[in-house]
């Protein structure tokens, strides 16, 4: 049963109570330990108050915290709109909105929205263009640097995963929020997607079937970035490292499970092992849009802690929780294809309540939209999400 704080649901520690800070440091949550900071004003209500960091840690230890942790990320147009409401005072606008997690990123995923120019080339040599739609814009690849001649792979060099300046944002976030928030170091577009971004999707899928030596060589090269970046993140002090490869469509796997086992399972097993060697307490998260249920048991087998985004148009979050919730934590679940952009605030509230009640029991769940909140989502629905997440 969740401990509810009603109208008093205000994180005293995060609001700067020196007494709260001191007491929470003394009572820092440890796995298996139910106790958390509380003060006499809250004691009459039977209320526990956790910092975001402890709240997430408790949930990821499969225990129920004071409430289900929640977080959201946004496309640039939404960031701009939320800044107009919340102001520029907070470095991370998600913190101003109430997120329990703060994410920082390096690597190929930083190539999205890499420039405002009509076309641009990212550090990986991939050429992109900006495309405008009726609510904002998005970016898409127009040229793959390793398309064509296979011999180009011999001289191709990935960007330096240890170049220090790319971790400046991480250092700033840890310094500013590290004691309060759950810090995520992300390096998505990790192996499969990085390979086909460089080679072209059709060509790389054929390589995996017909030109296996090339496919293995390319994957071996690109996996060095997330491997080394993750270890760097852990050394800097993040709470969780985040990888990602979309290997599924809305209905099923994009590649067969045997092909996934040949190419991706051993490489992720190696990365996860190295992460745990660096710090066994660091959590490991993985993102794949679509219906990736076929590989969930084997992702658990190789050490995955957290699966994102549990895309509800592809997988039933409640069924995934029922089948795998004792062995893996779920992160996501709120529909961004229908509910968030086209539903009413009341529908958002209803879906949030259902997710908290259906996935939050026993811990092991972080409530979040199943992708970045898109530019076609109203402010009213965004604020409805946060209000409902903090109510139920």
What pLDDT, in 10s, does the model give residues 293-323? 999 999 999 999 999 999 999 999 999 999 9
pLDDT at position 46 is 54
pLDDT at position 31 is 36
Local confidence band at 269 (pLDDT 50, 70, 90 cut-offs): very high
Summarize pLDDT for 137-185 with one digit per residue, the tens.
999 999 999 999 999 999 999 999 999 999 999 999 999 999 999 999 9
As a whole number, mean pLDDT of residues 118-140 equals 97
As a whole number, mean pLDDT of residues 321-332 equals 98
Closest by Cα among 183, 301, 295, 304 to 246? 295
pLDDT at position 47 is 59
Q: How far is CA 128 from CA 73, 118, 122, 144, 192, in A?
A: 22, 8, 8, 9, 19
Cα–Cα distance for residue pair 67/186, rounded to 1 Å:
25
- For the chain, the straight-line distance linking the first and the last C-alpha, in angstroms and rounded, comes to 12
How many CA atoms, within 13 angstroms, populate the side-chain half-sphere of residue 85? 14
pLDDT at position 286 is 98
Asked if residue 4 has pLDDT above 80, the reply is no
- From the centroid of its chain, how far is CA 4? 26
The neighbour count for residue 35, using CB atoms within 10 Å, is 10
Local confidence band at 49 (pLDDT 50, 70, 90 cut-offs): confident
3-state secondary structure the chain: CCCCCHHHCCCCCCCCCHHHHHHHHHCCCCCCCCCCCCCHHHHCCCCCCCCHHHHHHHHHCCCCCCCCCECCCECHHHHHHHHHHHCCCCCCHHHHHCCCEEEEECCHHHHCCCCCCCEEECCCCCEEEEEECCCCEEEEEEECCCCCCCCHHHHCCCCCCCCHHHHHHHHHHHHHHCCCCEEEEEEECCCHHHHHHHHCHHHHHHHHHHCHHHHHHHHHHHCHHHHHHHHHHHHHCCCEEEEECCCECCCCECCCHHHHHHHCHHHHHHHHHHHHHHCCCCEEEEECCCCCHHHHHHHHHCCCCEEECCCCCCCCHHHHHHHHCCCCEEEEEECCCCHHHHCCHHHHHHHHHHHHHHHCCCCCEEEEECCCECCCCCHHHHHHHHHHHCCC
CB 354 within 8 A of CB 335: no
Asked if residue 53 has pLDDT above 50, the reply is yes
Asked if residue 324 has pLDDT above 80, the reply is yes
As a whole number, mean pLDDT of residues 116-120 equals 97
Please, what is the average pLDDT of the chain?
90
CB 202 within 8 A of CB 146: no
Report, in angstroms and rounded to the nearest whole number, the Rg of the chain calculated over CA atoms.
21
Summarize pLDDT for 337-388 with one digit per residue, the tens.
999 999 999 999 999 999 999 999 999 999 999 999 999 999 999 999 999 9
**Taking the complete model, does pTM exceed 0.85, yes or no?**
yes
As a whole number, mean pLDDT of residues 20-29 equals 35
Local confidence band at 30 (pLDDT 50, 70, 90 cut-offs): very low
């Amino acid at each position: 049963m969740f401990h509810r704080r009603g109208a008093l649901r205000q994180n005293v520690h995060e609001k700067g109570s020196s007494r709260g800070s001191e007491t929470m440091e003394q009572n820092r949550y440890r796995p298996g330990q139910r106790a958390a900071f509380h003060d006499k004003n809250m004691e009459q209500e039977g209320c526990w108050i956790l910092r975001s960091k402890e709240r997430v840690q408790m949930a990821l230890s499969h225990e129920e915290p004071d409430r289900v942790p929640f977080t959201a990320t946004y496309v640039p147009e939404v960031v701009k709109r939320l800044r107009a409401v919340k102001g520029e005072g907070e470095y991370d606008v998600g913190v101003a909105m109430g997120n329990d997690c703060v994410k920082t990123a390096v690597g190929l995923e930083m190539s999205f929205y890499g420039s405002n120019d009509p076309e641009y080339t990212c550090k990986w040599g991939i050429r992109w263009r900006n495309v405008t739609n009726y609510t904002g814009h998005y970016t898409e690849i127009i040229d793959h640097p390793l398309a064509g001649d296979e011999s180009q792979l011999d001289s191709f060099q990935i960007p330096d995963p240890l170049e220090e300046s790319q971790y400046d944002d991480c250092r700033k976030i840890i310094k500013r929020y590290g004691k309060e928030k759950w810090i995520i170091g992300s390096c998505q577009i990790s192996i499969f997607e990085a390979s086909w971004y460089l080679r072209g999707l059709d060509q790389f899928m054929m390589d995996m079937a017909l030109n296996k030596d090339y496919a293995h060589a390319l994957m071996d090269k690109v996996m060095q970035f997330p491997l080394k970046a993750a270890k760097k993140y852990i050394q800097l002090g993040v709470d969780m490292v985040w990888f990602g490869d979309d290997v599924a469509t809305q209905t099923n796997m994009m590649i067969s499970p045997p092909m996934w086992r040949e190419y991706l399972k051993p490489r992720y097993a190696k990365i996860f092992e190295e992460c745990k060697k660096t710090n066994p307490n660091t959590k490991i998260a993985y993102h794949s849009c679509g219906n990736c249920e076929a590989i969930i048991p084997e992702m658990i087998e190789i050490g995955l802690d957290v699966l994102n985004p549990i895309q509800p148009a592809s997988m039933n979050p409640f069924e995934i929780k029922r089948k795998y919730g004792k062995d893996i934590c779920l992160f996501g679940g709120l529909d961004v294809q229908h509910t968030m952009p086209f539903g009413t605030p009341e529908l958002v509230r209803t879906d949030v309540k259902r997710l908290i009640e259906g996935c939050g029991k026993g811990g092991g769940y972080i409530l979040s939209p199943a992708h970045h909140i898109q530019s076609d989502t109203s402010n009213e629905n965004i604020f409805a999400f946060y209000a409902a997440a903090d109510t139920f």
